Chain A
Amino acid sequence: MAEENSTGPEFADEAIGHLDALYRGALRLTRDPDKAQDLVQDTYARALRYQHSYQPGTNMKAWLFAIMRNLYWDRFQKANREAVSIDDIGEFALYDQMRDDLGEGPEAEVLDRIARGEVVEAIEKLSQLHREVVLLVDVEGFSYKDAATILGVPIGTVMSRLHRARQQLQKDLFAYAVESGIVGGGLNRRS
């Protein structure tokens, strides 16, 4: 009993050190600040309860994200089977679209003209399975292996979901780039 309650200051400090990342992740998952706060709070409560299962020196951030992801799916996704499906939109590369549009391959600097809020919006429009893999690999920088462990799927599944997520994201960003005049949406295309 005494052992279970021995929250060392190291555990608490390290866990709190990941708070911003978890909160941002929760925002992306729930798309609602109140729900995000609840989710984070419950994640820490569960982490505290199961801290004996955490091995010091291993990846605490991955462990916390796995707890949060499981809580989220238990709570919010059970009743929402729709969001689980993945549409195959076919190959889509923003680079190729812009190159066709501009007549030459776009420099990476063109991305500086895309508003960050638009990117967040495009990510939040992704289906659940796509959103969480982008969150883990692109935003948090987890390896495919860690992402696979957190999500409980094989590495190949992480790769294919990530690829499709990026296609969808690029499709949305291309639509934005056309709307905002960054590219001409075919107007510049030479025949």
Chain B
Amino acid sequence: MYDCDDCVRRLDQLVDKELSGPEVEEIHVHLDACGDCTRRYEFQEGLKRLVKVSCSEERAPAMLRERLRQQLNS
């Protein structure tokens, strides 16, 4: 059985979907029984999402796109 420490130690891998199937199952057994770890997990997922969304807004300038297109097709 995982305890809170086991869970916290695997949190990065859990939010990054890098744990094996059995490990994910094991950790969810703990999460189902632990409100604090569940909130911590959701928080950590929210943080990862926030980082992604915050850095996904800019678009490459149209001029650059055009230049590259010509370069690649020449």
**A residues engaging B (CB < 8 A)?**
7, 9, 11-12, 15-16, 19-20, 22-24, 27-28, 37, 40-41, 44-45, 48, 93-95, 99, 105-109, 111, 114, 116-117, 119-120, 123, 134-135, 137-139, 141, 143-144, 159, 162-163, 166, 169-170
Contacting pair B55 A19 (CB below 8 A): no
Count: A-B pairs, CB below 8 Å = 113
Q: Which 6 A-B pairs have the closest CB atoms?
A: A108-B46, A23-B60, A119-B54, A12-B72, A116-B54, A105-B39
Chain B hits for A45, CB < 8 A: 71
Is B64 part of the contact surface with A, judged by Cβ < 8 Å? yes
Question: In the bound complex, how far is the Cα of B17 from the Cα of A138, in angstroms?
Answer: 11
Contact A24:B56 (CB < 8 A) given known A111-B50, A123-B51: yes
Contacting pair B68 A44 (CB below 8 A): yes
Q: Which of B28-74 contact A (CB under 8 A)?
A: 35-36, 39-40, 42-48, 50-61, 64-65, 67-69, 71-73
Question: Could you say which of B43, B51, B61, B64 contacts A95, with CB atoms under 8 Å apart?
Answer: B43
**B residues engaging A (CB < 8 A)?**
12-13, 16, 18, 35-36, 39-40, 42-48, 50-61, 64-65, 67-69, 71-73
Contacting pair A16 B51 (CB below 8 A): no
Contacting pair B60 A40 (CB below 8 A): yes
Question: In the bound complex, how far is the Cα of B16 from the Cα of A26, in angstroms?
Answer: 23
Contacting pair B54 A120 (CB below 8 A): yes
* CB of B67 to closest CB in A, whole Å: 7
Question: Could you say which of A12, A95, A159, A163 contacts B73, with CB atoms under 8 Å apart?
Answer: A12
* CB of A120 to closest CB in B, whole Å: 5
Contacting pair A94 B12 (CB below 8 A): no
Contact A16:B72 (CB < 8 A) given known A23-B64, A120-B55: yes
Contacting pair A44 B72 (CB below 8 A): yes
Question: In the bound complex, how far is the Cα of B44 from the Cα of A166, in angstroms?
Answer: 10
* CB of B56 to closest CB in A, whole Å: 7
7 additional contacts, CB 8 Å, given A44-B71, A170-B47?
A19-B65, A45-B71, A95-B40, A99-B36, A105-B40, A116-B50, A123-B55
